[in-house]
Amino acid sequence: MVVPLVFQQLTPPWIAFIGLGAVSAAVMSSADSSILSAASMFARNIWKLTIRPHASENEVIFVMRIGIVCVGLLATLMALTIKSIYGLWYLCADLVYVILFPQLLCVVYMEKSNTYGSLSGYAVGLFLRLSGGEPLLFFPPLIHFPMYDEVINDDGTVTGTQYFPFRTVSMVMSLTTCVCVSLLTNHLFKSGKIPIEWDFLTCVVNIPPERINLPRDTSFATSTDTLAMHKIRSENGMVNPLLLTANDSGLSGGSSPATETSALAPTDFTTRDYSSLDRP
């Protein structure tokens, strides 16, 4: 509020008009970008990838428009009810530390992390964080952690302060839950103790196979570096059978040697399962 007051009190009216217009434009630019990014992430990462994987682009755009309206209304409601901008910034950093930081650690440094562990850690971290109370959002504490200081005001209302580092505890519990649930579900599904049909999130064993059909037309420009990555012969001189087609007998004494075209677009590309190329 300092800059608008300076423009209003210490500058001529026409300068104040231009200055306040510039400040308003900067605020609106940041606000609409935030609203659009939140709605886009929901429409793409949650609706498209999780709820309705076969949704059309028109449906995703429609959901994104609804998300823009909902996020805008929620932001307006928060702006009218919450008086501290610094408090909102502090709450945002708080939630990022408690909820998103454990997810980032697991995704970057833990190969076996999966969606089950991520959702479980998210739920545990959010529950413990909100159970500690949040005065900014008028949430009373549901759990009185150690060193909780309760005060009875003159008007009869009861307020309290959590001196215990419950935010750090919530973060640690979220991280622990994410790791434990990921390892547990990974073991149960891969050992066969739980049927693969129960992997409804398709993130451990019930993963849809991806079949990559390479085009027969290789008229596109293929660089030397790209061809080097698709060598037919390995370092020890052995022929890689995964890159040979049904008619590629030239390397083993036949009359039809494998070419760049046959290596990149084999004749049996319609039936070859390219998801098995990474398997030993």
**Mean pLDDT value across residues 120-132:** 92
Please give the tally of structural domains in the chain: 3
Which of 114-123, 154-163, 253-262 is most confident?
114-123
Provide the pLDDT confidence category of residue 233 given band limits of 50, 70 and 90: very low
Phi, psi of 134 (to 5 degrees): -145, 100
Tell me the pLDDT tens digit for each residue of 216-231.
Answer: 444 444 444 444 554 4
Residues 107 and 202 in one domain: yes
Provide the pLDDT confidence category of residue 279 given band limits of 50, 70 and 90: low
Q: Which residue has the higher pLDDT, 135 or 97?
A: 97
Residue 258 in any domain: the answer is yes
Residues 63 and 138 in one domain: no
Return the pLDDT at 28.
Answer: 84
Residues 47 and 97 in one domain: no
Distances (CA, A) of 64 to 44, 55, 72, 76, 189: 8, 12, 12, 18, 35
Residues 76 and 98 in one domain: no
| pTM of this structure | 0.60
Residue 245 in any domain: the answer is yes
| Residue where a domain terminates, one of 148, 175, 207 | 207
Residue 216 in any domain: the answer is no
Domain that holds residue 129: 92-207
Residues 43 and 96 in one domain: no
- The contacts of residue 84 (CB under 8 Å, 6+ apart) are 136
Tell me the pLDDT tens digit for each residue of 164-178.
Answer: 899 999 999 999 999
Residue 42 in any domain: the answer is yes
Residue 214 in any domain: the answer is no
Return the pLDDT at 19.
Answer: 83
Helix (H/G/I), strand (E/B), else coil: 127: helix
Residues 200 and 117 in one domain: yes
**Mean pLDDT value across residues 232-256:** 48
Return the pLDDT at 262.
Answer: 52
**Mean pLDDT value across residues 46-58:** 85
Residues 70 and 103 in one domain: no
Residue 87 in any domain: the answer is no
Residue 241 in any domain: the answer is yes
